[in-house]
């Protein structure tokens, strides 16, 4: 498709930003959406520049891909820009090797008022043998921002399969644990007169 500069091309060129150029999106669409509508898959070959001093892929490179895929999933769900507020249970189950093809899949598990928990799974494939292994998983929380950079409401997510319902139930437990931990720390600091 050639870039004719028409409205469709213009819309494609600017997914989200600069955000202020979308006055028609002043009212957020809060219609509930299925988990499946937020699915994102990123596929990237691992290169020498992704390696750590052992010669394997650096964990930080994987974390960046996880955050990128998770952020895109959250943006897809809420239809706007998001920021990462928390990442937990990031696991590294197997090393990833230079030359492997990494697939990062993300999907929104659960929504709060302004936040979304995204589940992310990383797999590495040896392109010669076709062997594919699950190397990492993570749960990342994103907050949707309005035009002024303040948290804004997001549409509720609707699980449609048993697996998605299970993910939502477990996400609720993680959310309660995160918020309880944050509150306990703030309370303890306040009791000691600390910031």
The residues binding ligand COA (CB under 6 A) are: 83-86, 112-115, 141, 143, 151, 178-179, 182
CA–CA–CA angle 28, 64, 183 (5° rounding): 65
Taking the C-alpha atoms of residue 51 and residue 155, their distance in angstroms, rounded to an integer, is 39
CB of 195 to ligand COA, least distance (A): 15
Of 102 and 141, CB closest to ligand COA:
141
CB of 48 to ligand COA, least distance (A): 27
Taking the C-alpha atoms of residue 194 and residue 177, their distance in angstroms, rounded to an integer, is 23
What six digits make up the tokens of 108? 């929104």
Question: Do 88 and 96 form a contact (C-beta atoms < 8 A)?
Answer: no
Of 122 and 141, CB closest to ligand COA:
141
- HEC readout, 17-35: CCHHHCHHHCCCCCCCEEH
Of 141 and 171, CB closest to ligand COA:
141
CB of 89 to ligand COA, least distance (A): 13
CB of 87 to ligand COA, least distance (A): 9
Of 43 and 83, CB closest to ligand COA:
83
């Amino acid at each position: 498709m050639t870039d004719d500069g028409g409205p469709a091309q213009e819309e494609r060129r600017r997914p989200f930003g600069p955000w202020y150029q979308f006055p028609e999106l002043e009212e957020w669409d809060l219609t509930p959406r299925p988990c499946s509508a937020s699915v994102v898959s990123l596929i990237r070959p691992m290169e020498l520049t992704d390696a750590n001093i052992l010669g394997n892929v650096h964990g930080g490179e994987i974390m960046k891909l996880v955050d990128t895929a998770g952020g895109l999933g959250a943006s897809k769900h809420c239809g706007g820009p998001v920021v990462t507020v928390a990442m937990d249970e990031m696991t590294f189950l197997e090393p990833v090797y230079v030359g492997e093809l990494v697939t990062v899949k993300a999907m929104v598990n659960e929504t709060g008022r302004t936040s979304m928990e995204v589940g992310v799974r990383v797999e590495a494939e040896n392109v010669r043998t076709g062997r594919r292994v699950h190397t990492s998983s993570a749960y990342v929380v994103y907050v949707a921002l309005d035009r002024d950079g303040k948290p804004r409401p997001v549409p509720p997510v609707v699980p449609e399969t048993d697996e998605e319902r299970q993910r939502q139930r477990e996400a609720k437990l993680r959310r309660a644990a995160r918020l309880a931990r944050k509150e306990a720390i703030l309370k303890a600091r306040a009791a000691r007169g600390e910031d």
